[in-house]
């Protein structure tokens, strides 16, 4: 599970991919911009981007689970049996 700070970083890089910054205690108000093209994203924009990142991660996890299950079905084994085989 990611920390709040990791989500803040992911969200900012989603909004401003070339930015460089630091912050303290997972607090948006403490962000110090070292490199920033254009205006700094607002807290609301960062919060919205955090939700997008979380949704994208959930979709990726769901797709991986579906692929894993499709492979297990193709092999005709359960996840527990696969774990035993890969042990």
Q: What is the pLDDT of residues 40-83, one digit of tens each?
A: 999 999 999 999 999 999 999 999 999 999 999 999 999 999 99
User: Mean of the pLDDT values across residues 1-26?
Assistant: 96
Other Cβ atoms closer than 10 A to 82: 14
30 Cα distance to chain centroid? 22
Categorize the per-residue pLDDT at 22 as very low, low, confident or very high, splitting at 50, 70 and 90.
very high
Predicted confidence at residue 1, as pLDDT, reads 86
Predicted confidence at residue 87, as pLDDT, reads 85
Predicted confidence at residue 23, as pLDDT, reads 97
Predicted confidence at residue 31, as pLDDT, reads 97
């Amino acid at each position: 599970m990611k920390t709040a700070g990791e989500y803040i970083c992911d969200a900012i890089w989603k909004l401003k991919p070339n930015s460089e910054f630091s912050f303290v205690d997972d607090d948006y108000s403490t962000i110090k911009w070292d490199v920033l093209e254009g205006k700094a994203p607002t807290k609301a924009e960062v919060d919205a981007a955090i939700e997008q990142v979380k949704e994208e991660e959930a979709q990726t996890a769901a797709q991986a689970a579906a692929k894993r299950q499709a492979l297990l079905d193709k092999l005709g084994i359960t996840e527990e049996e696969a774990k035993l085989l890969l042990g």
